[in-house]
């Protein structure tokens, strides 16, 4: 105890609570060893690749197609999840119906369920002999081993993001905005699009960005349902990296990974900016 008091006196009186240097040391060391140094190794390796070679590696036809497939499917899935996520969040907050507690409790299933389990389950359900696949096949729609399958898998893994971002905002909004709009004579439609939707926009964008980012890097839930055929453009970027790794083609794997890191970094930055603006706004209120 005496030591603490002495240390306190020494440390310019700004840090009364002990443990600053200790925790700083622990946090920086662990972060470096587990996260930063391994990631830096990827960058270090990529420096050894010449710019021309780098460009060649990432513009190969199958790599380009994989990027288009991953980004396109993730975007579609994120849009889908934003629309349905808003509907689901709205319903769960505003209405009461039997079985609501069960559905509300299941929303985070995609986070709790291992991706490989989700992957084989969806693949089986949507294959032409599966529960959904059979009915869809009769209508001439094939989901498994097509890009539609990739989108379905990404909708599954991204489902909780928008719902969980929007729900708390809707809960806090109570009825006052709607009441005010109603008093001023706005129709329910106008109230929704002019009053409620703008309030929800940051939460929707955050959820969209997180679901999009998650989808681009997704591996386990996608590879079973996608079929992974270069010809049909059903290879995702993560699959291509894994393929290069098993061929010990580390240069290609690193180059592709680097592009992917940049994309997810940009998306993360976008989400952070949206959240910062949101907190600035709430601080003003």
Binding another protein (rule: CB under 8 A), the pick from 88, 150, 165, 166 is 88
Query: Could you give the CA distance from residue 167 to residue 162 in angstroms, rounded to a whole number?
Result: 8
Q: Which residues contact 58 (CB under 8 A, 6 or more apart)?
A: 64, 255, 256, 259
How near is the Cβ of 233 to another protein at its closest, in Å? Answer: 19
Q: Which stretch binds another protein (CB under 8 A): 50-58, 61-69, 105-113, 198-206?
A: 105-113
User: Where are the alpha helices (H) located in the chain, listed in sequence order?
Assistant: 2-10, 20-31, 37-47, 51-58, 61-94, 100-106, 109-112, 115-126, 131-138, 147-173, 176-183, 188-190, 197-217, 220-226, 237-246, 250-284
Contacting another protein within 155-194 (CB under 8 A) = 155-156, 159, 188
Give whichever of 4 and 59 is closer to another protein, judged by the CB atom. Answer: 4
Query: Could you give the CA distance from residue 225 to residue 69 in angstroms, rounded to a whole number?
Result: 14
Give whichever of 118 and 181 is closer to another protein, judged by the CB atom. Answer: 118
Q: Which stretch binds another protein (CB under 8 A): 141-149, 196-204, 226-234, 238-246?
A: 238-246
Position 270 contacts another protein (CB under 8 A): no
Give whichever of 44 and 184 is closer to another protein, judged by the CB atom. Answer: 44
Position 274 contacts another protein (CB under 8 A): no
Give the DSSP letter string of 79-101. HHHHHHHHHHHHHHHH---TTHH
Convert residues 117-156 into a mask of x (bound to another protein by CB under 8 A) and - (unbound): xx-xxx-xx-----xx----------------------xx
Position 278 contacts another protein (CB under 8 A): no
How near is the Cβ of 253 to another protein at its closest, in Å? Answer: 6
Q: Which pair of tokens denotes residue 33?
A: 């060893």
How near is the Cβ of 12 to another protein at its closest, in Å? Answer: 12
Query: Could you give the CA distance from residue 88 to residue 166 in angstroms, rounded to a whole number?
Result: 10
């Amino acid at each position: 105890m005496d030591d603490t008091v002495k240390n306190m006196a020494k440390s310019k009186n700004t840090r009364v609570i002990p443990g600053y240097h200790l925790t700083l040391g622990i946090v920086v060391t662990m972060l470096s060893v587990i996260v930063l140094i391994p990631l830096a190794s990827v960058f270090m390796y990529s420096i050894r690749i010449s710019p021309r070679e780098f460009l060649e590696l990432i513009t190969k036809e199958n790599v380009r197609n994989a990027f288009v497939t991953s980004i396109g499917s993730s975007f579609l899935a994120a849009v889908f999840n934003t629309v349905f996520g808003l509907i689901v969040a709205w319903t769960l907050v505003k209405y009461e119906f039997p079985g609501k507690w069960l559905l509300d409790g299941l929303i985070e299933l995609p986070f709790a369920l291992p991706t490989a389990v989700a992957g084989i389950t969806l693949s089986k359900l949507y294959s032409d002999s599966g529960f959904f696949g059979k009915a869809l096949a009769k209508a001439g729609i094939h989901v498994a081993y097509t890009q539609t399958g990739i989108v379905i898998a990404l909708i599954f893994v991204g489902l909780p993001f928008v719902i969980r971002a929007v729900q708390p905002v809707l809960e806090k909004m109570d009825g006052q905005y709607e009441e005010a709009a109603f008093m001023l004579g706005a129709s329910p439609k106008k109230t929704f699009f002019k009053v409620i939707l703008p309030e929800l926009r940051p939460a929707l964008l955050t959820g969209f960005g997180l679901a999009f980012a998650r989808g681009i890097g997704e591996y386990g839930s996608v590879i079973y349902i996608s079929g992974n055929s270069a010809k049909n453009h059903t290879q995702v970027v993560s699959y291509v990296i894994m393929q290069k790794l098993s061929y010990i083609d580390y240069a290609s794997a690193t180059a592709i990974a680097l592009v992917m890191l940049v994309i997810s970094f940009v998306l993360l930055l976008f989400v952070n900016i949206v959240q910062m603006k949101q907190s600035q706004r709430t601080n003003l209120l």
